[in-house]
């Protein structure tokens, strides 16, 4: 990889060109999309919705940026109103809201910490009250803190990572289920690292493994109610979490170790979530779909 791109558009993504990102680092997670160079590609301007989610209501955690932003916009193009639950990235959230409203759909923004049980409960209740119900829950928010070896992982870090990545999903799902009906869907963001592991992200990989087991268990629990539960396992995707968690000198080669020799873009994940949220996947539950540039083939 030898080329820096000042800006990436959807056409460049389609060309499958390996990209060398400029070194960069952000001081805190979950990171800001507005500070990234180049900005992630989160929308396909040629994507025309066909009403697959018409008048559905979706709640997307971490929907302000990255994968969550791309998913939220795709859902709106398919006719859904969207509640975005995010931490404190207000500018990113406002940008995503503008994209959703440009599709003629409603967007509710709720800022807070999904580690907080009362916040999770109130987020669900506010969504139902403001948007008239809840049909789709996307558990997407997450954090990661690379460390060299388990001996360097503070217990506080391990607890924090599980609280955000897994306990938040557990609580959002718990409080959403009473409002879901036949045809509703739950989709969680796992990771290729749940399958391959990673020696520098032991706690993070463990949370993603927990999400896989949780997805399969919830699919069994809710199948009799006609509610489907699935997950997506991304590989290395260019989102704010990367410069907010990785040293600047690791960014230029981010994603280059996959068979495709590049990182993925959020826009490449969105159709998978649309598929799992819509009736196109009516016979799919308890499954994890891999969108990882072939990374899961490596061991």
Please tell me whether residue 83 adopts helix, strand or coil conformation: strand
* 60 burial level (CB within 10 Å; 0-12, 13-18, 19+): buried
Q: Which two tokens stand for residue 3?
A: 């080329």
Please tell me whether residue 117 adopts helix, strand or coil conformation: helix
Q: Which two tokens stand for residue 194?
A: 């749940």
DSSP symbols for 192-247: THHHH--TT-HHHHHHHHHHHHHHHHHHHHHGGGT-EEEEEEE-SB-STHHHHHS-
- Residue 97's H or E segment, with its range, is helix 90-102
Q: Which two tokens stand for residue 298?
A: 């490596």
Active-site amino acid positions: 204
Q: Which two tokens stand for residue 198?
A: 């990673």
* Alpha carbon distance 128, 280 (integer Å): 25
Which residue do the tokens 């049980």 mark?
A: 117
* Alpha carbon distance 195, 173 (integer Å): 23
- Neighbouring CB atoms inside 10 A of 50's CB total 10
Q: Which two tokens stand for residue 242?
A: 């990367």
Phi, psi (5° rounding) for residue 248? -55, -35
- Neighbouring CB atoms inside 10 A of 16's CB total 10
* CB-based contact 215:174 (threshold 8 Å): no
* CB-based contact 7:238 (threshold 8 Å): no
């Amino acid at each position: 990889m030898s080329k820096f791109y000042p800006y990436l558009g959807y056409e460049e993504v389609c060309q499958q060109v390996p990209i060398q990102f400029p070194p960069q680092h952000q001081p805190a997670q979950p990171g800001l999309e507005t500070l990234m160079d180049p900005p992630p590609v989160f929308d396909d301007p040629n994507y025309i919705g066909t009403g697959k989610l018409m008048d559905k209501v979706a709640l997307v955690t971490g929907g302000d940026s990255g994968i969550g932003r791309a998913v939220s916009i795709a859902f709106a193009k398919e006719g859904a109103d969207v509640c975005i639950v995010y931490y404190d990235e207000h500018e990113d959230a406002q940008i995503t809201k503008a994209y959703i409203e440009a599709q003629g759909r409603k967007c509710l923004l709720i800022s807070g910490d999904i580690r907080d049980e009362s916040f999770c409960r109130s987020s669900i209740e506010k969504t139902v009250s403001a948007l008239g119900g809840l049909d789709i829950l996307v558990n997407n928010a997450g954090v990661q803190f690379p460390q060299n070896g388990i001996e360097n992982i503070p217990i506080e870090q391990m607890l924090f990572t599980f609280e955000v990545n897994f306990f938040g999903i557990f609580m959002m799902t718990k409080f959403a289920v009473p409002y879901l009906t036949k045809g509703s869907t739950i989709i969680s963001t796992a990771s290729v690292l749940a399958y391959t592991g990673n020696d520098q992200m032991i706690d993070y990989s463990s949370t993603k493994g927990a999400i896989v087991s949780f997805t399969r268990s919830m699919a069994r629990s809710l199948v009799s109610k006609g509610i489907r539960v699935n997950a997506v396992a991304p590989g290395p995707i260019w989102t704010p979490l990367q410069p907010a968690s990785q040293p600047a000198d690791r960014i230029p080669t981010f994603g280059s170790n996959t068979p495709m020799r590049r990182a993925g873009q959020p826009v490449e994940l969105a159709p998978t979530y649309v598929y799992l949220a819509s009736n196109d996947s009516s016979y799919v539950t308890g499954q994890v779909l891999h969108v990882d540039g072939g990374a899961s083939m490596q061991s």
